[in-house]
Amino acid sequence: MKAIIISSLLLSCAVSVIAGENKKSDISYVSEDYISDGIFTQGVEGPAVDKNGVLYAVNYQQQGTIGRVVGKNKVDTLLTLKNGSIGNGIRFDGKGNMYIADYVNHNILKVPVSALKYGGDVSDSVQVFAHENKMNQPNDLAIMDNGILFASDPNWANGTGNLWRIDQDGIVTLLESNMGTTNGIEVSPDNKTLYVNESVQRNVWRYDLDDLGNVSNKQLLISFPDFGMDGMRTDKQGNIYIARYGAGQIAVVSPQGKLIDTIKLNGQFPTNVAFGGENDRVLYITMQKRGAIEVVSLGSAGRIF
């Protein structure tokens, strides 16, 4: 599948950057449609690629499902969640287990790798890995190499949010409350930094991260003057790719907080991003209003398992 994906991506079109702030990249990008309009619902989110290169995203055809993307405009149903659960962020650990943020029932769900490897519908294999009634609605997930998870937890009505850690035994710990609307979240490639953004406030924060998933030394990494933010991921160099909701862009930010590039998309409302494809240099972008997925070929490989 990787070879098919990458062969359809052409490097053309210029990258737009904020003039005068940073040096323009020598690389040019073009975003192409990989999954056409309306194949997913407008709740399309949580793209993630497993160790076999298969792409997954939530809310395929109807809310509460997860779609398995097997080729361009080729999707089937991996599972349908029960008890009214609806997924948002998806992450895989190093063993290949899938984790899903269930924002309706305040769960982090798990699909064991043993179920995933056989293909077909795995709805009956979904487990509740962690539950916390005090969560608003777990949104996006990040993961350390040792399997420790982090969840953003926005309260959209109040413009606030929390930050949670989920240990390997499923114990949930509140790391910070009363933040802005926490949304995108990611761990740096060296596992020493946690990034969290606030959609409404347009801030990206960085924390020092230790081996046990404790955070400290919170600092503002970058702020944007307009539009919202949603999901984000890092490449292997530590640069952060941030979905700029409403702007139709992916902002590429260095670990020092400098805007490196702005990748223009076809749609205006990107919700999340994930790396995959040949040599992990394809960026998949879920597009809310379109119910679609776009792809961009990159010069840098992403941090994935």
State residue 229's pLDDT score: 95
* 260 has a pLDDT exceeding 80: yes
On whether the CB atoms of residues 282 and 34 are closer than 8 A, the answer is: no
Q: Name every residue whose Cβ is closer than 8 Å to that of residue 72 and which is 6 or more positions away in sequence.
A: 4, 5, 8, 34, 35
Q: What average pLDDT does range 175-189 have in this prediction?
A: 97
Of 187, 196, 210, give the one whose Cα is nearest residue 162.
Answer: 196
State residue 118's pLDDT score: 80
> Does residue 36 lie in a domain region?
yes
> Does residue 304 lie in a domain region?
no
> Does residue 183 lie in a domain region?
yes
pTM exceeds cut of 0.85? yes
Which two three-digit tokens encode residue 10? 């052409």
> Does residue 302 lie in a domain region?
no
Residue of 52 and 80 predicted with greater confidence? 80
> Does residue 305 lie in a domain region?
no
How many angstroms separate the CA atoms of 182 and 237, rounded? 24
Looking at this protein, which amino acid is placed at residue 139? N
Q: List residues bridging with 228 in a β-sheet.
A: none
Least confident among 131-135, 227-231, 277-281: 277-281
* 225 has a pLDDT exceeding 80: yes
State residue 11's pLDDT score: 33
* CA distances (Å), origin 171, targets 107, 166, 232, 244: 12, 6, 25, 32
- CATH number, domain containing residue 119: 2.120.10.30
Domain count, the chain: 1
pLDDT in tens, 126-179: 999 999 999 999 999 999 999 999 999 999 999 999 999 999 999 999 999 999
> Does residue 303 lie in a domain region?
no
* CA distances (Å), origin 58, targets 34, 39, 64, 91, 102: 16, 11, 7, 12, 10
> Does residue 276 lie in a domain region?
yes
The domain containing residue 275 runs over which residues?
Answer: 2-297
Average pLDDT, the chain: 90
Token pair 């599948």: residue = 1
